[in-house]
Amino acid sequence: MKKSILAIALIAITAVSCKSEKNKVTANEEVKDIKKVENVLNSYKANIAESTVTWKGNKPTGSHNGVVNITKGVFDIENEVLKSGEFTIDMTSISCSDLEVADGKEKLEKHLKDADFFDVEKFPTAKFEIASSETKDGKLQVTGNLTLRGTTKSITIPATVTQNEDVVTFKSEVFNIDRTDFGVTYKSKKIDAALKDKFINDLMEISFDIKAKK
């Protein structure tokens, strides 16, 4: 019986790992030449109340997911082409959606904000700055600088940009970053092999859903 349970657990971990690897994006050196939004008044300004960043973290015994708010954002779009833009993420707002207060919600959120993870006292914001976008195999690929925990890396993510009159939605597919690339090393098996099955997966799921209006 114990062997069956262990086998099921290993299959589940392998399935999650394969899915995460499939959606993994590579963190490269930051793009130095970022085109800034030139005319803010004629651009699309993010609707903070309707925009979210989602996250999900995995470990052998389960997973947790939640959201993070943005504080501001702006985009330039010409002829339905995403030319430039950026949005700032409020890391102090990180929250867990799958736990109730009595089940450890506040404890986990506090830990995520501590120096072990995102150290929000020292790094209260994160940022994504768009450098370029192009369509490959019928899918929009957006390249930009992601700054997290004070470290900036360039990533390319699949996304969609939709326009409805004067409203624009920038929505990424779910993608995975290696948190250790950004200095988040708590319980990383890559850093401490002695953790055995007590580790937290290095790959962290993220998605952007930003609504903006002129």
Within-domain flag for 13: no
What values do phi and psi take at 167, rounded to 5? -115, 135
Those residues with Cβ within 8 angstroms of residue 51's Cβ, 6 or more apart along the chain or in another chain: 69, 70, 73, 87, 209, 210, 211, 212
Cα dihedral value 173, 18, 24, 81, nearest 10? -30
Within-domain flag for 148: yes
Tell me the residue length of the chain.
214
Cα–Cα–Cα angle for 6, 10, 11, rounded to 5 degrees: 120
The domain that holds 74 is classified in CATH as 2.40.128.110
pLDDT single digits (tens) 158-210:
999 998 888 999 999 999 999 999 999 999 999 888 888 889 999 999 999 99
Within-domain flag for 114: yes
The residues with which 207 forms a beta bridge, in sequence order, are 54
pLDDT single digits (tens) 190-204:
988 888 888 999 999
Of the two residues 32 and 88, the one the predictor is more confident about is 88
CA quadruple 113, 119, 125, 126: dihedral sign: negative
pLDDT-derived band of residue 5, with 50, 70 and 90 as boundaries?
very low
Of the two residues 113 and 36, the one the predictor is more confident about is 113
Contact 198/46 with Cβ under 8 angstroms? no
Q: What is the mean pLDDT of residues 58-63?
A: 92
* Host domain of residue 147: 27-213
Within-domain flag for 3: no
Within-domain flag for 5: no
Within-domain flag for 180: yes
SS3 165: coil
Indicate the pTM of the whole model: 0.87
Within-domain flag for 45: yes
What is the number of domains present in the chain? 1
Contact 55/209 with Cβ under 8 angstroms? no
CA quadruple 111, 113, 114, 116: dihedral sign: positive
Give the span between the Cα atoms of 125 and 71, in whole angstroms: 9
pLDDT at residue number 69: 98
What values do phi and psi take at 187, rounded to 5? 50, 40
Mean pLDDT of the chain: 88
Within-domain flag for 186: yes
pLDDT at residue number 20: 53
pLDDT single digits (tens) 29-58:
998 888 788 776 679 999 999 999 999 999
Categorise residue 62: left if φ over 0, alpha if ψ from -120 to 50, beta otherwise. Answer: left
pLDDT at 19 over 80: no
Q: What is the mean pLDDT of residues 58-87?
A: 91
